[in-house]
Structure 1
């Protein structure tokens, strides 16, 4: 997944259809979308409902409603953790420029006593995206770039498959996922361990959908936007985020460097579920290659300061920090992420690093989720007109838990108690998504009488691919294996015979979904001329040709 977070195309599309949006892609669903209320229930204008003056929003909530909801938040969090066995979570709430809630629950790692607190550092996955658009807004505010600038003006190496798109794709295009790059472009290169420069340098081989009239969540398209902004400032992305956002707001626990997360003394380890409410810390997730899109780590104490900046229209502690016009541009729709499915339904939108939606009172709601299939799930949601925001970070694989907490809190603020069992709703959606991610061919079911394979020497050798690089098929202890990935640190995959010239191997990384196939072309008594790896062929780039 997230990068989220990156996730598979199926996961993103199903979650968008459910109104949640993709993990690592989307923010919270509209409360009305799941409670049966339609756009028709928005009050008609009247003398008592005249719009507020430009730049002002008349709040509908009062402090007592927020206070009452906060009193129930502990119980909602503990209930979600008890129902799922989730190891740990941290939550913060900001209201009217005040951090009114900041707590940790559970443990940093299963089997160890260290507890989570407001300062515990989590990998935030795709919540990195609205953080990143804040950083880029800072660069726009300094008039170094404009949102409408073609990124190639600031990164001469930028290239996509279509020359017109290469010359015209702007920061806004890339950071609203409307460049035409398809979902998951570059993600499988990341799983293999390729670095940011390699992946961005090979996006020009990825097929494109319609420029500016399609929406496809793309971690590396988004990363290119952040990277180009950093190059315009003649800095690394990581240093730029420190200078523009983290240091000015005192976010000392926040970083876009995985090494900083790893060395944090108060750090939440990522977990995957084993079943029956049991979890295990099995994986490590280094998202440095897609840092602007998914590589940030932070604490809820730090993120609360960032939410104060967001709700403060670029001001922090009463002082300007980010240009308000540049920041506001991130909060408005730039792409239609979920077209309305019926006349009375509402469409969903993507801004710049934010999902943008509107509720029954026509209030804007901003949000984003983040997830790593390898063990992290996060969510943030804001009602800017109410000066209210909540962020939830967890150290467990996505099951809809942080989304349920953030949606449940906002629902409680407005209605006194949740109108939906949010955890049941989000868990059902995520379960459906997980079930949809099975590979097309079940390579665990070997034919009862498989056709024999050729001799090992018919398959061994080096195969070329301009996108993934060379693939070496070799013999180890009488069995076949293949090796691919970055020079100096490739991954070796043992191959198991399946049927005829087809072998299976275990997929790896954030997007892994079990056994995949290595389909060798017929040998005809000689050497196989090519092999297609179906797991790596999602956009037609997974065929490797034997080197001459």
Structure 2
């Protein structure tokens, strides 16, 4: 009898410990693929909540096309493409469609650098200027205190400037050279890369540091970076649809996806990135999955391009990046992600995200077990959330150890109780939290943000699905809900009456003058106001009346600020008033002769 009870207890404990991963991994590839396609979930899994479908979520997030490669047991399990590579020609995405990989370029560049370390052509702890012959880092007081090395550059600890590069439109001719960009030469739209903080002190993301490493690799190998990486990595791994060449060679360009973005600054075309190591890779999920698997195999000493020592050097955390529910650290190339409560290597994942104009990509692999996924999309907006939803679906279906948060288990409440939570609550001077009821749960929005699903877990207590967090509703003496407070907040968010609108709500209601009065009372700063005006001018659809009202307030409070007139110029251009735009840009450049953006816009207007 005791044996039977013990067996039952062990079986029950096993089910409880398994949490949300109680289902078995589907046995066939087709079943695994179908399960992933229908298992997209929010940040926190929710017991009993209907999963989302991939193509439905593509439409929701307005993502034109994407491609996925799933890794399992150190092999590519399946690859599949969805949507269109070009909305004009309706050319579909295929598994051979190339996407701009953005900063995933850094992970690949770091692996290329480690091949030179393996061949003893470079060392991680030797001053980088030892290897640079075409250009050198200025040896200022920071550099002399502690020389910058390849290892520091690959782990974003070199203290170098230039966090990111934004690329060039294809019509820029000639394209700046790497040396010109490093030097901040005229026409490069960048400043010289310098050491402006203490090397080795802390993590500080630096695309400029990776450009220095790119030039060092080119100088040591005596090859341009695209040729070097093709020989060192791509040919050996069978990555036939990958290149650092910029612009793309014609034979690859015909298979490349077009770029799509809702950002106002986007010029409607794929950008060019001669800053190859920081941002210039074009690839496919299949090719990048091959590279991740090769790195996983090298790490466990089962072959691979790198030695086991080099792979373990790459895949060892060097500095903290962020902490919260997940702990994020930086290695030599990849970032590391694990739950803060994780205690095993099985729950550690290495990854990199890539964002370029009109493109977004995720690449992640497990440190042990041979799991992972690569997702590449030709959109840089909603793709951010869609990619995470797909990544979580893969993690759930393939039961990645310790990756997902523990699931929410809802506790249904009476309709009348849920209805009492519906309403608007003020979180900040211009920030409103809105709860509405949907089925047996709540949907939260913050101003105009995406919906966040919230589930009752006790009376007057809900759990959010966008982060492991609870909130508590407070009732007044008559039993009515009058405020809500998250477990992180000291002060509750009071309920707003129906006729009590915050400035951003007044703008949405078309009551611009009242909204401007609200912002005047809030004493909004110059850059807050001009950013708002920029956003209203360039969002799709634009709100030009709101932009005008905000700029009138900005000019009233900051009559000599050049940025105000620069934003007026943008608004007048959008309204089709060329003469007013010219006058505004002339004023902006007179007030700030270093405003190159306004000067370029003025030159373009005068030329036509």
Normalising TM by the smaller chain, what interval? 0.5 to 0.7
2:528 & 2:279 partners in 1: Cα distance?
21
Considering fraction of residues, name the structure with more helix.
2
1:219 & 1:325 partners in 2: Cα distance?
26
- Note the C-alpha offset of 1:204: 5.1
Q: Does 2:145 match 1:174?
A: no
Note the alpha carbon deviations across 1:264-307, whole angstroms, 9 max, x for none.
Answer: 222211111389xxxx991231012x101110001122122112
Instruction: Name the counterpart of 1:303.
Output: 288
Instruction: Name the counterpart of 1:336.
Output: 320
Note the alpha carbon deviations across 1:501-542, whole angstroms, 9 max, x for none.
Answer: 842xxxxxxxxxxxxxx3x35xxxxxxxx7232979xxxxxx
Quote the RMSD (CA, aligned, Å): 4.1
Instruction: Name the counterpart of 1:286.
Output: 272
Equivalent residue in structure 2 for 1:322, among 301, 306, 316:
306
- Note the C-alpha offset of 1:409: 1.8
| Paired residue secondary structure (2:236) | coil
1:410 & 1:353 partners in 2: Cα distance?
23
Is contact 2:142-2:196 (8 Å) kept? no
Instruction: Name the counterpart of 2:377.
Output: 394
1:437-516 to structure 2, matched below 5 A, reads 439-440=530-531, 442=533, 445=548, 446-447=551-552, 495-497=582-584, 502-503=587-588
Gaps of 5+ in 1: 1-59, 430-435, 455-477, 481-493, 504-517, 522-529, 537-548
Note the alpha carbon deviations across 1:457-495, whole angstroms, 9 max, x for none.
Answer: xxxxxxxxxxxxxxxxxxxxx979xxxxxxxxxxxxx74
1:224 & 1:61 partners in 2: Cα distance?
48
Equivalent residue in structure 1 for 2:34, among 55, 71, 86:
71
Deviates more, 1:125-134 or 1:166-175: 166-175
1:65 & 1:253 partners in 2: Cα distance?
30
Q: Which protein has the larger Cα radius of gyration, Structure 1 or Structure 2? A: 2
The alpha-carbon distance between structure 1 residues 448 and 254, as it changes in their structure 2 partners (threshold 3 A), is closer
Note the alpha carbon deviations across 1:23-76, whole angstroms, 9 max, x for none.
Answer: xxxxxxxxxxxxxxxxxxxxxxxxxxxxxxxxxxxxx99865896654322234
Deviates more, 1:84-93 or 1:164-173: 164-173
Note the alpha carbon deviations across 1:200-259, whole angstroms, 9 max, x for none.
Answer: 124656571332223221112112113212211222111110011000011111000133
Q: Does 2:95 match 1:115?
A: no
Note the alpha carbon deviations across 1:374-412, whole angstroms, 9 max, x for none.
Answer: 200100111121210100000011331223321332144
Is contact 2:298-2:305 (8 Å) kept? no
Instruction: Name the counterpart of 1:255.
Output: 243
Q: Does 2:361 match 1:378?
A: yes
Instruction: Name the counterpart of 2:328.
Output: 348
Is contact 1:261-1:267 (8 Å) kept? no
Is contact 2:161-2:193 (8 Å) kept? no
Instruction: Name the counterpart of 1:127.
Output: 104
2:373 & 2:361 partners in 1: Cα distance?
11
Instruction: Name the counterpart of 1:532.
Output: 594
Gaps of 5+ in 2: 1-21, 41-53, 185-190, 409-442, 444-449, 454-464, 468-526, 535-546, 561-577, 599-608
Equivalent residue in structure 2 for 1:198, among 180, 186, 189:
180
Note the alpha carbon deviations across 1:291-338, whole angstroms, 9 max, x for none.
Answer: 01110001122122112202212699x754222211221111122212
Is contact 1:125-1:370 (8 Å) kept? yes
The alpha-carbon distance between structure 1 residues 293 and 385, as it changes in their structure 2 partners (threshold 3 A), is same
1:32-43 to structure 2, matched below 5 A, reads none
The alpha-carbon distance between structure 1 residues 66 and 412, as it changes in their structure 2 partners (threshold 3 A), is farther
Count how many residue pairs are aligned between Structure 1 and Structure 2.
397
Q: Does 2:233 match 1:245?
A: yes
For normalisation by structure 1, the TM-score amounts to 0.63
Is contact 1:180-1:212 (8 Å) kept? yes
| Paired residue secondary structure (2:584) | strand
Instruction: Name the counterpart of 1:364.
Output: 348
| Paired residue secondary structure (2:86) | coil
Instruction: Name the counterpart of 1:527.
Output: none
Deviates more, 1:318-327 or 1:239-248: 318-327
For normalisation by structure 2, the TM-score amounts to 0.57
Q: Does 2:259 match 1:270?
A: yes
Equivalent residue in structure 2 for 1:145, among 122, 126, 129:
122
| Paired residue secondary structure (1:179) | coil
